[in-house]
Every structure is written in structure tokens, then in C-alpha cells.
A and B are shown apart, each in its own frame.
Chain A
Amino acid sequence: MSGFMGNGSTGNGFAGFVLRRAVGVLVTLLAISVIIYVVFYVTPGNVAQITCGPRCSPAQVQQVADQLRLDDPLYVRYWHFLEGLVAGQDYSTGTAVQHCPAPCLGLSYQSDQQVTELILTKLPVSLSLVFGSMVMWLILGVGTGVLSAWRRGRLSERVLTGVTLVGVATPVFVIGLVLMIVVCGELELLPFPQYVNLTDDPEQWAWNLLLPWLSLALIEAAAFARLTRSSMLETLAEDHIRTFRAYGVGERSVIGRHALRGAFAPVIALNANNVGSAVGGAVLTETLFGLPGIGRELVHAVDVVDLPVVVGMVLVVGFFVVIANALADVLYAVADRRVVLA
């Protein structure tokens, strides 16, 4: 990258490119927040009634509505929301006034807990799951792809292709369910997963997350294997590879260094694109294995129509997805400078 930046004229273009992407990220996030806020608070259902419970009297429902400021116009409420996000906010919860420091995502309708706090307590679990799994799916997926491109036309390639197809076609909760029943229930190789903090006991943390990681990774890895294989085959068919071979470069080097380079950019792009689907997979994995992460909390919040929690979590997830995509764009530009000019 240093050589890239050292090239004066394009270096400027690159900085500009990164800046444009950063502004783009901000605009996208703001737009997402508006859309989500509008969609979620122009609900057909009566939020006050749902929050209060079915046995509330009309007076009680009105009290809840006042407390939640449900009668304010939507833009006023959105403005308050943004204000809280940037500067923090004070909430009166009946008896006491609670200060919610920035970035404040509001208070849970159900428990009066601050949404930001709630998310922060759940985030380590989800991050452990997704990032651990990402390491696994990259190794598994790219490894399988390289192997099947290398062994093209042999029996081992056909077997690998079949296995990845099965991976593509199996929903994550089915694989997770089967893994859990076989490994934990029947063979008793592992105990049923229970989340342990990384800081408390790293070894137990890894052991307990092994199955959830594997379930999520197997599904995602299949897509990477297919992509790696096809981009490598495409590179292998190019002229410069033939030149390398003619110069007597060994097959291992051709595959491992030159052909693999061709798969680099598409794999980055797919990885960023997959953050969204992996988060969806994480919701299922967390629910299935009972891991106390964002996903499970979201399912719970959806069950009890706890809108601030739902909105906050969707925003946080959207934030990660948008950041991941922007990072991938920048990485892509580093890998291939033609992108910057485009």
C-alpha cells in the first residue's frame, strides 16, 4: 500500500475516495435511521396499548402514551431521537429522572433499561460469534475453493463440489440443530453450549462457541468455496498464467500465489456483502444455542413489541453492515487501483 500511496497523483485520488466513502457511510446511516424510525413508529398497532398490556384501562394507556411521547408529531420525536444519539437525554421514568448519555438510543418500553447499555452488554457475545465464525468460514471456504480448483476434474473435486452444494442448500438452523443433537446429545463430545466470557476463561469461551461457530461457518464457507474456485479457474485460464508455466514456475506456486491473487478481490467483496446475511445467521444460531447475544435479544424484543430496543438493534446492525461494505470498498481499491478512477 505504501507504494500505492507514494504515487503522488493517485494518492490524492485515493484520499478523496476514502473521504467520499466516509461521507457516503454517514448519509446512508442517517437515511437508514429515518426509514427505520418512520416505518417503525407509524405502526398500525397501538404501541401504548401493547406496551401497557391487554388489561390496561384507557386512562392507563393514555398515561403510557404521554410518558412515551407518542402524541408528539413524528418529526419531533425523530429529532429527539437524534438529539439523544448525539448529546444524550434525560428521561423521566415515573418517579426518578434517568440520564441517558450519548449515544442514547432511548429506553426500553418493557424494562426502562437504556437501549445502548442493553446492546453493549449483548454485543460481545454476537461479536465473538460472528468474528470467530468469520475466521472459520474464510479458512474453510477459501481452502476448499483452492483445493477444488487445484484438483480440477478429479474425483476429489467432485466430492468437494457436492459438499459445498449441500452447504449452500442447508439453512443454518438445520445444520445447527443436527450438529447439536449429534455432537452434544448423542455422542456427548461437547456439553450443550453455554456462553462464557472471553475475559473470564478464554479456553471455555472457545469450547462453548465451537459448535455455534461451526454451524454458521459451514453455511457461509460454501459460498466462499464456490466463489474462490470459479475466480481461480478464471485466472488460471488467463495468458499470464500460461506465461508463468512456460517459464517453468511450479504448479504449487502458480496455484498458491498467482491464481489465488485473482480470488482476493471477489472474496473481500463477498465477505463484506455477507456480513448482513451472517448477522441474520447469527440471530438463528444464538436462538438455537441459547447464546445471550443481540440476535436473541432482538427476537425477544420483537415478541414483546419493545420498539426502542428493536430500532436500536436494527440501527446497530445496519451500522456494522454499512461499515463493513465501506471497508471492503476501500480494501478493494487498495487491491485494484482501477476502482479509484471509476
Chain B
Amino acid sequence: MSDVLIASQAPGGTDLSVPPGASGARQFWRRLRAQRAALVAAGVVALLVLVALAAPLLTAIEGQDPTTYHPDLIDSARGGVPIGSFGGISGEHWLGVEPQTGRDLFARLVYGARVSLGVALAATVVQIVIGVVVGVAAALGTRWVDQLLSRFTDIIVAMPLMIMSLALLAIVPSSFPRPVLVAGVIGLIAWGNIAKIVRAQTLTLKGLDYVSAARLSGWGTWRIARRELLPGLAAPVITYAAILIPQNITVEAALSFLGVGMKPPTPSWGQMLTAADVWYQAAPQYLLLPAGALFVTVLALTVLGDGVRTALDPRAASRLRVGTGRRREAKVASVTAAASVTTATSAVSATSVASVTGASGASGESGESGGAAQGGAS
């Protein structure tokens, strides 16, 4: 959805080019901390990750597990409605039990967090790895390599993610481990935009003096890519990853909702929702819990993603008056940056991350305008 925002941002050029090196990282934290909404979101995300990691512990405390059936807790005469009020909430089953099967809802919910976050994160890693490799290769390769990779990327971008993953998941035998498969499929289809961004950013970086200096001093392409270019790619990649994670969570939930993602008995929020609409009167929490969990997770990650983008984009940060009041510092930084760029060109061995960070960070802070559609930043 928001692909285009970032995609249109990248050709605009340098506005995302703050590599979080030593001082970049500190600046990043400072700007992120200045946004209250992003901080709250970060807290929620941290809590969710904690719950996902501690799922076995939490269910052990409750004394339940996500897959055991409890036929004694459901009223089969009434079509499988949980016995007891509020869908069978009790001291033993904190959030009640699932209609028809009697499986513990709390356990399924927290294990669902594991599946949801784990799959989304794994898919994002796959997307980033493919996107960075393809993008950097296109930017550094010969004209033919670039043409080939760029056209291929265009085709990948044109493939609708939901439809393709739906179709791909159909043909792989069900014996294949499902979480790995879902993450892999999402990752293999939706790396196009990140490759485009990385290519554009690499082309920009390639023209900068410190990279030319490295090349002139006889560094190989591989070494330049690893030592000089990758640090400069961190900011756009992190920004885009922050958008991809909530998107991947939604896709996984949607696929599971359609019955082709996670398969039972693996608990997944999307899958829980599939059956829930029939039971909303007898056991409303069966519907509300996974829906709410999904909503809170995606919302928190989206807000955090917005915050990360603002923190990494100096222009957005100054527009939102986030982390301002450091003009003098910026001026000093730009002076040192200019100095360090000069150093970089003369003494190549000194071209470290720090000097680069200073250079582009400062040029961003001094607030140049221009650049095409810098859409949807705020």
C-alpha cells in the first residue's frame, strides 16, 4: 500500500541517505524518542515480542497448551458452544475456550503472536536480503546486468502479492513446514520495491567522492559494496523494513484467514478469525481477541514505522519540529563533515562510516529543499 510512497521518495535522491553510523545511531534514537506516539508504539511492540518469546512460559503458568481439545468444556447439544458465561472464561482458561474444540484461547492467542511476528520478520529478512543483493548488483553491474535485473524487478513489482502467494501456496506439498513456506513465499514475491530503492540509493552513493576515492585507490567492487555502500544503504532499508513488517503480518493473517497460510493445529490469528464469525454471539471473544491482537500489532508497528521514517528523514524531522533546536550543532557538524570529506578523498583508509555519517547527516539538517514527490512522509 505504502510502497509507492517510498518508491517515489527514493528517486528524489538524498533525503533518506543518513547512514546510521556511530553518531547517526545516536541522532536516530534522539529523534525517535522525541515522538511520543512512536515511543508508545515501540513499547507495545516490545511487549508483543516479549509475549511471543515467552509464549511457552505464559501458557505453562496458565497450565494449558494451545492444541489440547477439551470436549468437556463445550456444550455439544447446543452445537459446540463453550459451557459457562463469557465463552467459558475461568481461572483455568483465562480467556475462555474455542467453540467446538474447547482449545484454550489464551494459549492460542499467545502462540499466535509467535507465528504472526515470526513469519512476518522472517519474510522481511528474505525480502531485504534479495532486495539489497539485486539492487546493489543492478547499480554496480554492467549496463546489461542493470537492464536485466531492473526489468525483472519491474515484473516482480507487477505481480500482486496476495494472488501470487495464494497460488504459490497451493502447489507446494503440505508436508513442507508451513511457517517457513509462508515466510518464504511472501519474501520471494514482495522484494521488488526494496530492490528499486536500494538500486537508486546505490547509484547516488556511487557518485559520491568517498566511493570514487575508494575505487581510485584500487579497491575491488565487492569490497566497496561491503565497506562503503552497505552502511549508506542502512537508512532507506531500515525505513522500508519498518513498513514491510506490518504489511507482512497482514498478508500472513489474510492467507491464514483464507485457509492457505498456517494450517491447523498451528495457531494463527488469521485462521482463528475464519471460524469466528459464526460464533460471535455465543463467544464474542473468539472473534474479538484475534481481531484485536491483529489490530493492535499492525497499528503499533505502523506508528513505529512512521516514527522510524521521521527519525531517519531529516526533512520530515525538522518539519515536524522533532529534535530541532540543534542548529548550532548542525552547523558545527557540517563544518566537520566538509573537513572529513576532504580527508576522505585524500586519505582513503580513513573513509570510515563516521565521516560519511557526518557529511550527509549535516547536509540533510541544513535543510535543502527540492526532490520530487516526497509523499506521505507525515
Asked whether, in the complex, the Cβ of B161 is within 8 Å of the Cβ of A280, the reply is yes
The distance in angstroms between the C-alpha atoms of A174 and B250, with both chains bound, is 10
Q: Quick one: closest B residue to A177, CB to CB?
A: B277
Interface SS of chain B: helix
Asked whether, in the complex, the Cβ of A169 is within 8 Å of the Cβ of B163, the reply is no
Q: A234-B374, A299-B166 are in contact. Are A273 and B3 (CB under 8 A)?
A: yes
Nearest chain B CB to A165 CB, angstrom units: 7
Asked whether, in the complex, the Cβ of B246 is within 8 Å of the Cβ of A32, the reply is no
Render B247-260 as a binary contact track against A, CB cut-off 8 A, 1 for contact. 00010011001111
Asked whether, in the complex, the Cβ of B376 is within 8 Å of the Cβ of A40, the reply is no
Chain A contacts of B152 at CB under 8 A?
31
Q: Quick one: closest A residue to B299, CB to CB?
A: A169
Q: Quick one: closest B residue to A47, CB to CB?
A: B171
Chain B contacts of A171 at CB under 8 A?
250, 253-254, 294-295, 298
Asked whether, in the complex, the Cβ of A28 is within 8 Å of the Cβ of B258, the reply is no
Quick one: which of A270, A281, A287 has the most chain B CB within 10 A?
Answer: A270
Nearest chain A CB to B318 CB, angstrom units: 12
Binds B, one of A102-110, A223-231, A253-261: A223-231
Nearest chain B CB to A229 CB, angstrom units: 8
The distance in angstroms between the C-alpha atoms of A269 and B372, with both chains bound, is 13
Size range of the interface on A? 35 or more
Chain A contacts of B168 at CB under 8 A?
39
Asked whether, in the complex, the Cβ of B260 is within 8 Å of the Cβ of A302, the reply is yes
Q: Name the interface residues of A229-288: CB closer than 8 Å to any CB of B.
A: 229-231, 233-234, 265-266, 269-270, 273-274, 276-277, 279-281, 283-284, 287
Quick one: which of B164, B167, B276, B277 has the most chain A CB within 10 A?
Answer: B167
The distance in angstroms between the C-alpha atoms of A174 and B293, with both chains bound, is 11
Q: Judge whether B92 is part of the interface by a CB distance below 8 angstroms.
A: no
Q: Quick one: closest B residue to A40, CB to CB?
A: B171
Q: Quick one: closest A residue to B164, CB to CB?
A: A314
Nearest chain B CB to A217 CB, angstrom units: 13
**Out of A44, A172, A185, A281, which one reaches B173, CB within 8 Å?**
A44
Q: Name the interface residues of B294-326: CB closer than 8 Å to any CB of A.
A: 294-295, 298-299, 302-303
Chain A contacts of B378 at CB under 8 A?
229-230, 233
Q: Judge whether A325 is part of the interface by a CB distance below 8 angstroms.
A: yes
Asked whether, in the complex, the Cβ of B295 is within 8 Å of the Cβ of A165, the reply is no
**Out of A177, A299, A307, which one reaches B287, CB within 8 Å?**
A177
Asked whether, in the complex, the Cβ of A169 is within 8 Å of the Cβ of B277, the reply is no
Q: Judge whether A214 is part of the interface by a CB distance below 8 angstroms.
A: no
Q: When A and B form their complex, what is the total count of cross-chain residue pairs whose Cβ atoms lie within 8 Å? A: 167
Q: Judge whether A305 is part of the interface by a CB distance below 8 angstroms.
A: yes
Q: Judge whether A168 is part of the interface by a CB distance below 8 angstroms.
A: yes
Binds B, one of A6-14, A55-63, A72-80, A315-323: A315-323
Asked whether, in the complex, the Cβ of B158 is within 8 Å of the Cβ of A32, the reply is yes
Chain A contacts of B375 at CB under 8 A?
227, 230-231, 266, 270
Asked whether, in the complex, the Cβ of B160 is within 8 Å of the Cβ of A276, the reply is yes
Quick one: which of B1, B2, B270, B374 has the most chain A CB within 10 A?
Answer: B1
The distance in angstroms between the C-alpha atoms of A180 and B278, with both chains bound, is 11
Q: A32-B155, A165-B302, A233-B378 are in contact. Are A287 and B258 (CB under 8 A)?
A: yes
Asked whether, in the complex, the Cβ of B160 is within 8 Å of the Cβ of A173, the reply is no
Asked whether, in the complex, the Cβ of A279 is within 8 Å of the Cβ of B299, the reply is no
Render A23-58 as a binary contact track against B, CB cut-off 8 A, 1 for contact. 000011001100110011001110000000000000
Q: Judge whether B139 is part of the interface by a CB distance below 8 angstroms.
A: no
Asked whether, in the complex, the Cβ of B159 is within 8 Å of the Cβ of A32, the reply is yes
Quick one: which of B7, B161, B250, B302 has the most chain A CB within 10 A?
Answer: B250
Q: Quick one: closest A residue to B250, CB to CB?
A: A171
Nearest chain A CB to B38 CB, angstrom units: 12
Quick one: which of B155, B260, B276 has the most chain A CB within 10 A?
Answer: B155
Q: Name the interface residues of B258-306: CB closer than 8 Å to any CB of A.
A: 258-260, 270, 273, 276-277, 280, 287, 291, 294-295, 298-299, 302-303
Q: Judge whether B377 is part of the interface by a CB distance below 8 angstroms.
A: yes
Q: Quick one: closest A residue to B316, CB to CB?
A: A230
For the complex with contacts A174-B291, A265-B373, 12 further pairs of A-B residues with Cβ separation under 8 Å are A28-B155, A169-B298, A169-B302, A170-B299, A171-B295, A173-B257, A231-B373, A266-B373, A269-B8, A277-B162, A284-B258, A314-B167
Which A positions have Cβ atoms within 8 angstroms of B? 27-28, 31-32, 35-36, 39-40, 43-45, 165-166, 168-174, 177-178, 180-181, 185, 220, 223, 226-227, 229-231, 233-234, 265-266, 269-270, 273-274, 276-277, 279-281, 283-284, 287, 298-299, 301-303, 305, 307, 310-311, 313-314, 317-318, 321-322, 325
Q: Which 9 A-B pairs have the closest CB atoms?
A: A280-B162, A169-B299, A302-B170, A276-B160, A273-B4, A43-B171, A169-B298, A45-B173, A174-B291
- Give me 13 A-to-B residue pairs in the complex whose CB atoms sit less than 8 angstroms apart, sorted by A's number: A32-B159, A40-B167, A171-B250, A171-B253, A177-B273, A227-B376, A270-B375, A277-B1, A277-B160, A277-B161, A284-B257, A299-B166, A322-B158
